[in-house]
Structure 1
């Protein structure tokens, strides 16, 4: 029995019955929001439904609460109480909580995995950084957010595919080749002018050194055009391999890697031709323009320049057209906040192609600010450039980096405290959660040594301490939390939930002994920590954070 689901249905059924009986006027019912009161005296659950529906029914909240309360009954309900301006408090029969928890215990490892949803396939595209250098901390936040969102949606029962769009065509690849070529020539003692817009990172020098170590100066004999073509391919393959290596170390993998090169020229030409045929492309000053203002953009956009070269938008149009063609019901892109102006033009292009632009959602990721000793960290100590994701993992660890990235919503700026992330204390939220799991693993080892095992039917009704009841209630909220977090694309909710579960467990641990208590009570408490351990592991798994057995 899902307690919240049962309560929600009972409230709505009571309201509808009252409308049918003429006790309340007809109207659209608001959403039922149930909360666990801060004190047991206010019941097991409370709702402000009567206050939310006052405008619908044109009655005072207390009058509405009285009407609804009189029509709610069930073998699960002890009594209701109307409090304050119109809160409706529910007091459940004691067996309800334990019956529900027994079902959770019986579900075992399946608890937290929601039933499959018939909602079509979803694609989540994220990171998609240019393969021209190492990932920085901004990419890291996107990587943590995207992979956690994919995990969350899958836990909620959705069919999800993750994708990385490799920007391996266009001018940035030529700049990469020119930068490597300049460093190559410098290392071989040649005078060279470094490209004005070239990549200055130390990784470019490393790439040039590796080329020399492997092949010496043999490329000097080639023309610059030939050398640039070779260096473009060598550098691209190396950068992409290192990028994948960093992502895997960060617990991020993709179902599909989509190369922009595959769009040139045929897919781009086909998309532009389709837009021509439906009247959404026109020629001006020798260039081809998209009529994006007809679909909500603030101005029309060039898709093919006057020299015949496609713009970045042209490739993005072809890429998103390809996504729709692959049959995804929903498309989710995670982009940096600096791309906010680009959202409207891509959506306009999809509408111009005849697609439903509402099926495309773009989540914008705000900046990350790193702090050490209270001071803003702007540059890497090692390279003088932006701090890389790899450096962050080396300093604070993958688990701390991922959790800290996921603590806040994507659309809020994140202040990342490096000192806090490294602390081995309860002040560090990820340490606090992981320590709860390690503590439970220690309990299991002690129980095994003492010969304490779970029977098929532990007496769960013995769990009457307030800390035990609150922990059970929080555990029972987990499926609903997953469903809501998935609907809102909000993995930060799971980060908060994991912390709350850990806090309730630590409180329980400090109040309630397991070993050395009466056998039936010890077994019931062992059942409680068994489910708690699973929920902590499962929630951390969604976040891509490990659940250690020893700390």
Structure 2
């Protein structure tokens, strides 16, 4: 248990005890304590912690919030909580001020735990699968995929830090109509490049990368597949192209720092009969009916405007049918919780998928779907629309070549997924404090520089400073930095509970800002040994926390810049 969370939990417990004592004395009436919050006020003058307990008790207690607050303070035992004063604010908030001496324990905690500092046991080992990107293997990864990669990978790392057993998964859409269109597109390009005048299929894939794929194929096999049966030619072309595209996707994501535990094939669900078996189970449960030769899922029962076809009249399952089977397969593999990251254009698919899981006997609350809004790339103040490589969109590879992996990841993770991202290329490349990733990385490099200078001067840069020395960290800049460091375990817990890794981007920006303020106001390598030891401990702790959080976000923590 971290120092920060331990103090917070003690205050929670003592507030509950105070309410119980007031109830016993007949001064408060309630059946049970409602949910309430204990949090840091936005304005520093309001103290270190604030609670709304008095305000949410008004309905049961039938008293004014400020009167309830007075009663709670009267019975509050502050022993061991570091609370030095309590005051009532506004309509009935209770604000607490803490003795800053609690901060002296933060540095030993960080230096002892090192890379494990910030870990919490929210997940208690529960198995969680995070499925993200899952791009069609018919083209190159684009900006939307890039955002999904940054979000999914960071979320998986965050959940692992919060005590979950996490598995990252990529769903390969290697079956269905899109693969049929892919085959027709490849065939047309192959025949055209072999000198035949054939039309390009309607709904085909127009990217320049497809032409490159076929050119590479021709270099290997020449006209071998020019005069063979269409089915054989298309099968070969698809098999070759899928292998190449998936290799490219893997390599691109690896270069972005994203590694998967499982690459799951959609085709395997059909080959194993799992899709058919899933549809039969739904039919047995009364959720499927026949109409016009097709099989329909009663998705209106789950909030859809109309029922959905799951098996076409020709007996071919739809993509939706395969997707239902895939999600059933996830839960059958023993995951306690399944998280999908989808584009916002899939919002209509959420309710019906949750409903299908409920129909199959799974708790739909264990399926969480995070929707991402669009990405707009900005350069020279204007939206960048086209890519030479794909012919339609800016690719992830082009983006990383332009700004690097770290900027790509950090810029995408800074915003709530429900917000549209405007990715400013010029800002992402700027070596200035205006560039958020540069600002944070520069803080880490500066911390490393201080420690190098200390070592060169023969000062101790290892071990844990004495408690008496740590008490000398009394400036506002030192205390604010210590407090922010102490908050990390709680921030990890909150971010994991809300599945909001963007909170950590905000946290690390705040931490970097507080360090820069400390650096500009306080000299670290002072002559006074005790103070120097304490400040070096603060520098080492700040460096460790920056590295830990950047690691979750998949961003490099450089030692020099």
TM-score by length of 1: 0.96
- Segments of 4+ moved more than 6 angstroms: none
State the partner residue of 2:362. Answer: 355
What's the secondary structure of 1:69's corresponding residue? helix
**Larger displacement relative to structure 2 (298-307 or 151-160):** 298-307
The answer to whether the 8 A contact 2:141-2:396 is kept is yes
- RMSD of Structure 2 on Structure 1 (CA): 1.8
State the partner residue of 1:294. Answer: 301
The answer to whether the 8 A contact 1:102-1:460 is kept is no
**Larger displacement relative to structure 2 (185-194 or 416-425):** 185-194
State the partner residue of 2:119. Answer: 113
The answer to whether the 8 A contact 2:464-2:537 is kept is no
The answer to whether the 8 A contact 1:3-1:100 is kept is no
State the partner residue of 1:430. Answer: 437
Aligned residue among 96, 99, 109 for 1:93: 99
**How far, CA to CA, are the matches of 1:293 and 1:214 in structure 2?**
51
**Larger displacement relative to structure 2 (345-354 or 315-324):** 345-354
What's the secondary structure of 1:282's corresponding residue? strand
State the partner residue of 2:507. Answer: 497
> Structure 1 pair 373/58, CA: closer, same or farther in 2 (3 Å)?
farther
> Structure 1 pair 382/279, CA: closer, same or farther in 2 (3 Å)?
closer
Is the counterpart of residue 439 in structure 1 residue 446 in structure 2?
yes
Is the counterpart of residue 255 in structure 1 residue 255 in structure 2?
no
Is the counterpart of residue 17 in structure 1 residue 17 in structure 2?
no
**How far, CA to CA, are the matches of 2:335 and 2:74 in structure 1?**
47
State the partner residue of 1:316. Answer: 323
State the partner residue of 2:210. Answer: 204
> Structure 1 pair 37/522, CA: closer, same or farther in 2 (3 Å)?
farther
**Larger displacement relative to structure 2 (276-285 or 289-298):** 289-298
Aligned residue among 344, 363, 370 for 2:351: 344
> Structure 1 pair 44/305, CA: closer, same or farther in 2 (3 Å)?
closer
State the partner residue of 1:213. Answer: 219
Deviation of 1:188 after TM superposition, in Å, equals 2.1
The answer to whether the 8 A contact 2:107-2:537 is kept is no
**How far, CA to CA, are the matches of 1:149 and 1:104 in structure 2?**
23
Deviation of 1:62 after TM superposition, in Å, equals 2.6
Deviation of 1:79 after TM superposition, in Å, equals 2.8
Note the alpha carbon deviations across 1:74-97, whole angstroms, 9 max, x for none.
143333233444343323334322
Aligned residue among 219, 223, 237 for 2:229: 223
Is the counterpart of residue 165 in structure 1 residue 171 in structure 2?
yes
Deviation of 1:247 after TM superposition, in Å, equals 0.7
Aligned residue among 473, 483, 488 for 1:478: 488
Larger RCO, structures 1/2 (Cα 8 Å, 6+ apart): 2
Aligned residue among 230, 252, 255 for 1:246: 252
Deviation of 1:400 after TM superposition, in Å, equals 0.6
**How far, CA to CA, are the matches of 1:38 and 1:149 in structure 2?**
29
State the partner residue of 1:379. Answer: 386
State the partner residue of 2:274. Answer: 267
**How far, CA to CA, are the matches of 1:83 and 1:223 in structure 2?**
81
The answer to whether the 8 A contact 1:122-1:330 is kept is yes
The answer to whether the 8 A contact 1:37-1:46 is kept is no
Deviation of 1:230 after TM superposition, in Å, equals 0.7
> Structure 1 pair 477/421, CA: closer, same or farther in 2 (3 Å)?
same
Is the counterpart of residue 33 in structure 1 residue 41 in structure 2?
no
Aligned residue among 90, 103, 128 for 2:134: 128
**Larger displacement relative to structure 2 (411-420 or 113-122):** 113-122
Task: Give the length in aligned residue pairs.
Answer: 550
Note the alpha carbon deviations across 1:7-27, whole angstroms, 9 max, x for none.
222222222222222221114
State the partner residue of 1:365. Answer: 372
What's the secondary structure of 2:352's corresponding residue? helix
> Structure 1 pair 89/295, CA: closer, same or farther in 2 (3 Å)?
closer
TM-score by length of 2: 0.94
State the partner residue of 2:147. Answer: 141
> Structure 1 pair 124/383, CA: closer, same or farther in 2 (3 Å)?
closer
